[in-house]
Structure 1
């Protein structure tokens, strides 16, 4: 039977505490933002602190050698897997940039986006300051911290006990539960996303690829949310008029 070291026990406890706190917090932040008792900026700053606290402790353990940095997958080997992973990220980034460009310059697509993102509007950036905090603060922090904690440390540590399949499933579920503030329906979606990112990490042989993918996905969502907020009532009215005119002509 594998016996974890003191540093591993500490990190396991911190990650479980993150999950428990997320379950306890649940939709409290959402209610606070909607009723005006908390600003989005404050929520973003709290999220950044929430993510970096256990991550700094984890990195401190690697600095003193208590946890092997190779366990976190932070090495870049210049292997074919690394290169293909980097190419994959480049393709994803280009596809996202193109989609943002198309949506931004198409009224109908902006209106459709607004409808699709109504559920998440409460947490999406509505002005440039919020956008900076969401992309440069929350998105990069989530990409770095959650990947190091879940796909880096937790996955490799639990693999010693449960095997790779059990570790992947458990890690992805824990990752999903940490996003319960987005609603229970999104816990499943985020768990599936965790499985996908985990697969990318294992295939690319570097946590750096997973970090880049995770951060890109969050930035992409934040930018689309910002664009959705900019879809004005005038655009919606114009769209409805166009639809009505089209129906009458048929």
Structure 2
């Protein structure tokens, strides 16, 4: 049974915290980015990781305090054909991720295309160094688990008694997409499409676990591609040969 505390919790993670981020945290991050981009990014990612896990801990405590079964939230392992189908889907996505990463790593034109797709706004939250890539890996793992717990799990469970599972799922996708408004309208659309995909995965396999794994893979994929495209390009071809040549000695006289 959904309690007022459950609704207050949903209002916290789907309303209050994102509003704070959009009005206060995100503008502050953009200002700090102009002063100290390296520290600004790591601080932004650390806060994002901390906030998401804190929200999940609150939700888990609330869930346990009401003595509810975790399967009601979607934490059940798929069985039968659902298990094998989810494994195949994950392996297919993993193969696609590996193939595109290799292709982008080897092709400068592909990297240029990725840079164009990322845009200036999204580039501000993407890794550009190896150290930033490690941080982004933590962000991807956190977002994959926590966002599925919050939006495909708790949000849908809380509103399903009033508007049905599919109605709650539709509202969840809309809210999930709008919360990424800081990425611009293209970001909202992209996140909305991913939200629909993850929701369908949960509906088909009757479990959050496949959606969590797929969500992590999608985020890691985006981060690695961004890192390959945005990192400093090594010199190649004639430029590399020129770079290897010693500079002429100054002050030498000719005979």
User: TM-score, normalised to structure 2's length?
Assistant: 0.83
Deviates more, 1:21-30 or 1:204-213: 21-30
Aligned-residue RMSD, C-alpha = 2.3
1:109 aligned partner: 110
Aligned to 2:23: 24
Deviation (angstroms), 1:93: 1.0
Q: Does 1:80 align with 2:81?
A: yes
Gaps of 5+ in 1: 239-250
1:9 to 2, 7, 10: 7
Alignment of 1:132 with 2:134, yes or no, is yes
- Tell me, in whole angstroms, the C-alpha distance in 1 between the residues paired with 2:69 and 2:23: 32
The structure-2 alpha-carbon separation of the partners of 1:212 and 1:227, relative to structure 1 and needing over 3 Å to count, comes to same
Q: Distance in 2 between matches of 1:188 and 1:22?
A: 19
Is the Cα–Cα contact under 8 Å of residues 33 and 41 in structure 2 kept in the other structure?
no
Structure 1 residue 123, shift from structure 2 partner: 1.1
- How has the CA–CA distance of structure 1 residues 205 and 213 changed in structure 2, closer, same or farther, with 3 Å as cutoff? same
Q: Structure 2: any 5+ residue segments left out of the alignment?
A: 240-255
Contact preservation (8 Å) 1:201, 1:207: yes
- Provide the rounded CA distance (Å) in 2 between the counterparts of 1:32 and 1:233: 30
Counterpart position of 1:34 = 33
Match of 1:74, SS state, is coil
**Partner deviation per Cα, 1:6-63 (whole Å, 9 max, x = no partner):** 4413422322223323442474155235312552111110110121111011122333
Aligned residues, how many?
A: 234
Contact 2:149 2:208 in 1 (8 A): yes
Q: CA deviation at 1:192?
A: 2.4
Q: Does the CA-based 8 Å contact 1:175-1:194 persist in structure 2?
A: yes
The 1:161–1:74 alpha-carbon spacing in structure 2 relative to 1, beyond 3 Å, is: same
Distance in 2 between residues matched to 1:45 and 1:6, nearest whole Å: 31
TM-score by length of 1: 0.84
